[in-house]
Structure 1
Amino acid sequence: TAPTVAAAVLEARQRGLDNFSVLSLHKTMPPPLRALLDLGETPLQGFVLPGHVSVVTGLDCYRFLADDYGVGGVVTGFAAHDVLRALIQLLQMDEPVIANEYTRAVRPEGNPVARGVLDQVFEPGDADWRGLGVIPGSGLRFKDEFAAFDAARRFAVDPGEALEPAGCRCGEVLRGVLDPAECALFGTRCTPEDPVGACMVSSEGACAARYRYRGFDD
């Protein structure tokens, strides 16, 4: 979504609009991947990498995983068969590489035009990540020349500190150090119908997937 937001900002500037602003909470993938590996909390051996992000970025931004950490990765889509194929590719790797399972959508070079639009409007900024805290340079903030469209500056918006609901251990789940069922709220106070934490929200949530496919009483 970030390139389309950047394109909208460029269009707004061209039209001279003064009633359009954006609160940018966009984030980038390489910094949190590096942070996870640097933490060393779990013996990570491979990554299933996001397909939609990679449509824009391409594959090169992930090369550091194999080059610096000896960890492979496979870019894939969100369908179940995509994820399964990515896992098979990871298991069959003889050496750590960055592979592309999502060839119907992702090109190795990504989308240079979309990245160019992003680079016109945004620059790296610090961002807060659930379970990881603030990671320098992992977000996208407006360049000074586009400050007029920055809702954070225009309206003095301060998102504040991100706090988990009491008892929620979503951050540990996302870091891979806790199975969702080990959270005391899982399946009792926290269900897909009445979620407490973000990990139980939507079909993409780790806790929601655990609840759907394996239940909560095993």
Structure 2
Amino acid sequence: MIMKRNLLHIVLAVGLGMALAGCAVYPAVQVAGGAMTGYDAVVFADANLPKESVEGGQIQCDSDRMLERRLRERLRLGGVHTVSAHVINGHAYLVGQTDSRAQADQALGTARTLEGVRLITCKFYPRLTVREAQSDAALLRTVSQKLAATKRLENADLRIEVIRGTAILIGSTSDHSQKTAALAIAGEVWGVRDVVDYIAVAPSAQAGAGTSRVASN
């Protein structure tokens, strides 16, 4: 009788472990927005993946950098060379060009299986022409320089992508005034057609942490 009870406990434990593992591998997927540039923006969250570090502070920054590096490496190894990856507080942003829906799904799948990523936002565009790519590169330099030269953006962690004249701002600011300023500055650059806001405002308790970083990729 005791052996039967122990066997039942083992079976239940194994079943529970398989169920929890299934939750981690297959997070819920939500499709949001309607991009006019090829593919819809896709956002999906996996609420079951545990956070490996506390929110904010040096520990979170180190974790984000590690995840970002691993994600970029996996994308390149998978042959996805035209999609950039950024990670802010465990939130992965995939932005770039894709040749097909299959390639877009491959990029999503790569990020989806990376342990530690808890949220993914994607914005994909069709492949650019050489002239479009050159124009975007020039705009990227201008936007990056203007943001980097703005003293109001101290303690802000911003990354900039420019695709088809659209400036995509990714990162975090210490308050809403910094976020508003960054979006306004990018929108005022001649040649920028639109600005996409992927900027998160950090909690007030963390407003004074960190140093200013404006990066382009």
Assess same fold via TM > 0.5.
Answer: no
Larger Rg: 2
- State the TM-score, normalized to the length of structure 2: 0.27
Normalized per residue, the structure richer in strand is 2
- State the TM-score, normalized to the length of structure 1: 0.27
